[in-house]
Structure 1
Amino acid sequence: MSSVTTTPVPRPATVARPTGRTAPVLRQLLLLALAVVVVAPFAWMVTTSLKDYADVYRPPYLWPQEFHVGNYGRAWDAAPFAGYYVNSLIMTGGILVGHVMLDTLAAYAFARLRFPLRNTLFLVLVATMLVPQFVTVLPAYDLVIRLGWYDSYAALIVPRMADVFGIVVLRAFMASIPAELDDAARLDGAGPWRSLWSVTLPLCRPALATVGMFSFLYAWNDFLWPLLVTSDDTHRTIQLGLSTFSSKYGTYPELLMAGTVTAAVPALVIFLFLQRAFIRGVASTGLK
C-alpha cells in the first residue's frame, strides 16, 4: 500500500484587533487628536492677539515670547467697538426673541392643530430650505428700501425674525410629546394657548435651547445682511466692525486677532451657559 502524504494548508494571517483594554485608549487618542484640530485655530488666534507685531511672523508661531495684553486696549480704541457691540446685541436679541416666539407658534400649529392642507403647507415650508439664501437677499433688500428701513434696527431684525430650521426642529420635538397630555389639559378646560404655555413649552426646553443657540450664532456671526442694509457706524455690527478694522489695519494682525477674540467671547459664554440643554436638545431632536 502506498502512503499518501498531505501537506498542511497554511492558515491566512489574522489581523490583530484591539483588545478590550486598548480599544478605549485608541478611541480617546482619536478624540484627543480631533480636539487638537478644533482648538488649534482658536489657540492661534488668542496667542497672536498677545504678540507684538514683530513676533507675529517669527517662530515660535504659537507661543508669544512676550505677552502684550495692551493689544486689546489698542484694538478697542482703534474703532468704535462699544457701538458695534451694542448694535450686535440689539440685533441678536431681537432675532433670538423672534425665532423663539414665532417658530414656537408655527411649530405648535403644525404639530398639534388640525387644519386643511397642514402637511402640504409644512412640506412647502421645508422646501424653502432648499432655496439658497442669496436668491432671497435681493427681494428682502428691495422690501427694506420700499419701507424706508434702510440703516435702521428694523432692517437688521424684522426680515429675519422667523426661521424655517427652528420650526422644523420644534415641530419634531412637539410631535414626540404624547398627545394625551393635551387631551388631559383640554378636559380640564384649557384652550390651545393655555395648553401651549402650561403643557408644551415646559417640555420643550431642550429644543428651545437648541433653537436659541443656533439663532444666536446665526445672528451674531452674520455679515452679508448687515453689510447690505447699513451704511455707517451708527448701526454697524461687530462683524462689520472687524471687517473695517481689518481693511484699515490690515498690516497689524495682532490687533485684528484681539478684536476677533473680543467678538467671540459672547458666543462662548452663551454656549457654556446653555451647554447641557443644547446637548439634550440636539440628541432628542435627531440633529446628530
Structure 2
Amino acid sequence: MDAKYATGRVGRVATWVLLVLCSLAFLYPLVWLVSASLKGRGQVFDNALVPETFHWGNFATVFHELPLLPWLFNSLAIAVLAAVTVAVSSSMVAFGFAYFRFRGRSLVFGLVLATMMLPGAVTMVPVYLIWRELGLLGTWAPLWAANLFGSAFYIFLQRQFFLGLPRELFEAARIDGAGYWRLFTRIAMPLAIPSFVIVLLFEFQASWNNFQSALIYLNSESIEDFTAPLGIAYAMTKYSPTAGGQGDYQYVMVASLLITLPMLALFAFGQRYFIEGVATTGTKG
C-alpha cells in the first residue's frame, strides 16, 4: 500500500513539474517582451529578463512616436466586424445543415468542407481580382466582408453543436406555430452560446493578427490607416538602422505588448464559454 501510494505521489509530482516547465516555456516570450519594452535603446536584445534601468517613459513616448491609437482602433473595428459577421452567418448555415433534411444534404455539406482543403495561396489572386473589380481596394471591406458568407470550419463546428440539441424542442415549437427563424433565434442560438463565443474568439484573434490581408489590401498612403500588425511591420522598418533609423526597437516592443493585451483580456473574458463549449461538445439536455 505504501509503495503504491509513493508511486502515485511521484507520478503526480512529475506531472506538476512537467506542467510548470511547459508553462514557463510558453510564458517566456511574453516575459521577454515585457522586459524589452522597459529597456533603453541598445539593451532591447540583450536577453536579460530584468532591465538594468527601467524606462517607464517608453509607454508614454510610444504614442508620440507611432500612431498607435488609430492602429488599435482600425484593428478593433475590423476584428469586431469580421467576428460578428462570420459567427452569425456560419450559425445560420450550420443550423440549416443540422435541422433540415433534404436530398443531397451530405453532398452539399461535403463540398462546403472540401473548401478547407484549398490553400490560401491558391485563391489569393482570384480573390484580389474580385475585390479590385468591385473597386474596394484600399478599404476595410476585403478584410471582413467575405465573412458574410460564413466559414467552412465554423459551419462544421457549430453544426456539430446544433446536432447535439434535442430535436423534440424544435418539434414542440413547430407545433406551437413557431417559424424557422424563430426556431433559430429563440431555441438554437440561446443553447449554442458556448459555440458562438468560441467562433467569435477564434475569428477575432485571426482578424486581429491578420498581417497578410492588411498588407495586400490596405494600400493607403497614410500610415494611420494601417492595422496593428501592419503598423508593427512599419515600425520595424522605421527604426531599422539599415533604413536610416536609430534602432529604437523599445518602442516596437511597447507597441507589440499593448497590441497583445486586448487578446489576453478577451480570452480571459471568454474562457468560461470556451471551456464549456469544448467540454459539452454540443450535448444539451
Calculate the TM-score normalised by the size of structure 2.
0.90
Q: Give 1:156's aligned amino acid.
A: L
* Residue number in structure 2 paired with 1:31: 19
Could you give the per-residue CA deviations for residues 101-131 of structure 1, whole angstroms, max 9, x where no partner exists? 1000000000001223111011111111111
Aligned to 2:176: 188
Correspondence for 1:243: 233
Task: Give yes or no for the alignment of 1:118 onto 2:114.
Answer: no
Report what 1:68 is aligned to. Answer: 55
In structure 2, the residue matched to 1:169 is 157
Superposition deviation, residue 72 in structure 1: 1.9
Query: Could you tell me which residue of structure 2 aligns to residue 86 of structure 1?
Result: 73
CA 1:143/1:18 → structure 2, altered by over 3 Å: closer, same or farther? Answer: farther
What is the percentage of aligned positions where both structures have the same residue? Answer: 33
Query: 105, 115, 121: which is aligned to 2:92?
Result: 105
CA distance in 2, matches of 1:283, 1:227: 37
Query: Which ranges in structure 2 are unaligned for 5 or more consecutive residues?
Result: 241-246
SS at match of 2:102: coil
User: Which segment drifts farther, 240-249 or 226-235?
Assistant: 226-235
Residue by residue over 1:145-167, the C-alpha shift from the partner in whole angstroms, topping out at 9 and shown as x without a partner, is 00000111222221244221111
- 1:143 Cα shift? 0.6
Matched-pair contact (CA < 8 Å) for 1:206–1:280: yes
Counterpart of 2:124?
137
Which residue identity lines up with residue 276 of structure 2 in the other structure? Answer: R
Q: Secondary structure at the match of 2:42?
A: helix
Q: Give 1:260's aligned residue.
A: 256
- Per the alignment, residue 282 of structure 1 pairs with 278
Aligned to 2:217: 229
Distance in 1 separating the partners of 2:30 and 2:93: 37
Separation in 2, partners of 1:93, 1:45: 26
Give the 3-state SS of the residue equivalent to 2:259 in structure 1.
helix
Task: Say if 2:147 is the partner of 1:151.
Answer: no
Asked if the contact 2:38/2:51 (under 8 Å) is kept, the reply is yes
2:280 maps to a residue whose letter is S
The answer on whether the counterparts of 1:153 and 1:235 sit within 8 Å (CA) in structure 2 is no
Higher Rg: 1
Give the C-alpha shift of residue 270 in structure 1: 0.6
Alpha-carbon spacing, 1:80–1:58, altered in 2? closer, same or farther (3 Å)? closer
Q: Provide the rounded CA distance (Å) in 1 between the counterparts of 2:120 and 2:280.
A: 28
User: 1:262 and 1:52 mapped to 2: Cα distance?
Assistant: 17
Q: Distance in 1 between matches of 2:44 and 2:215?
A: 30
Kindly report which structure 2 residues correspond to 1:212-223, keeping only aligned pairs within 5 A, or say none: 212-223=200-211
How far is the alpha carbon of 1:261 from its aligned partner? Answer: 0.3
Q: 1:169: Cα distance to partner? A: 0.6
Does structure 2 retain, via aligned residues, the 8 Å contact 1:206–1:277?
yes
**After superposition, what is the alpha-carbon deviation per residue over 1:40-88, rounded to whole angstroms, capped at 9, x for unaligned?**
01110111001112333446x1111221121122222222112111211
CA distance in 1, matches of 2:151, 2:71: 24
The answer to whether the 8 A contact 2:140-2:218 is kept is no
Measured on the aligned residues, the alpha-carbon RMSD in Å equals 1.8
Is residue 91–residue 156 contact of structure 1 (8 Å, CA) maintained in 2? yes
Structure 1 unaligned segments of length 5 or more: list them: 1-15
TM-score normalized with structure 1 length = 0.89
Are residues 170 and 58 of structure 1, via their aligned partners in 2, closer, same or farther at CA, if it must alter by over 3 Å? closer
